């Protein structure tokens, strides 16, 4: 499996729609966070249904569970990925755009 990561941020400045600096970016962060929350909620829902089908009381089992080193590493990796995704638009811009000015005329 490839570990490559193609660029996630496009070149050039984002448009600013709200006058106050950072509002557009903050909105982007909130939406990305909501996306992650949505995916997580769906996964939890599926997990509950799967376990219920096998007669397992998930909430009780979670409280009794003790994390291993491998668990800690996996959760740490996922936490970092989550932060990178949520804060993607606050990172550095991609390399600058080429001028297209002379293409815009008739």
Q: Where along the sequence are the contacts to other proteins (CB under 8 A)?
A: 1-12, 14-15, 17-18, 23-24, 27-28, 31-32, 34-36, 38-39, 42-43, 46, 85, 88-89, 94, 97-100, 103-106
- Asked if 9 and 89 touch (Cβ cutoff 8 Å), the reply is yes
Q: Judged by CB, which is closer to other proteins: 44, or 56?
A: 44
Angstrom distances, CA of residue 54 to CA of 14, 49, 50, 58, 66: 49, 9, 7, 10, 21
The minimum distance between CB 3 and other proteins, in angstroms, equals: 8
DSSP string, 10-47: -SSPPP--SSSTTHHHHHHHHHHHHHHHHHHHHHHHHH
The minimum distance between CB 66 and other proteins, in angstroms, equals: 25
Q: Judged by CB, which is closer to other proteins: 53, or 60?
A: 53
Q: Judged by CB, which is closer to other proteins: 4, or 66?
A: 4
């Amino acid at each position: 499996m490839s570990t490559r990561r193609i660029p996630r941020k496009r070149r050039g400045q984002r448009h600013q729609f709200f006058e106050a600096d950072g509002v557009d970016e903050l909105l982007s962060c909130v939406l990305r966070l909501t996306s992650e929350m949505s995916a997580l909620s769906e996964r939890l829902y599926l997990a509950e249904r799967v376990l219920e089908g096998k007669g397992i009381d998930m909430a009780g089992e979670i409280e009794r569970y003790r994390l291993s080193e491998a668990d800690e590493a996996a959760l740490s990796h996922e936490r970092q990925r989550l932060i990178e995704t949520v804060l993607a638009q606050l990172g550095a811009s991609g390399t600058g755009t080429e001028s297209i000015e002379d293409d815009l005329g008739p």
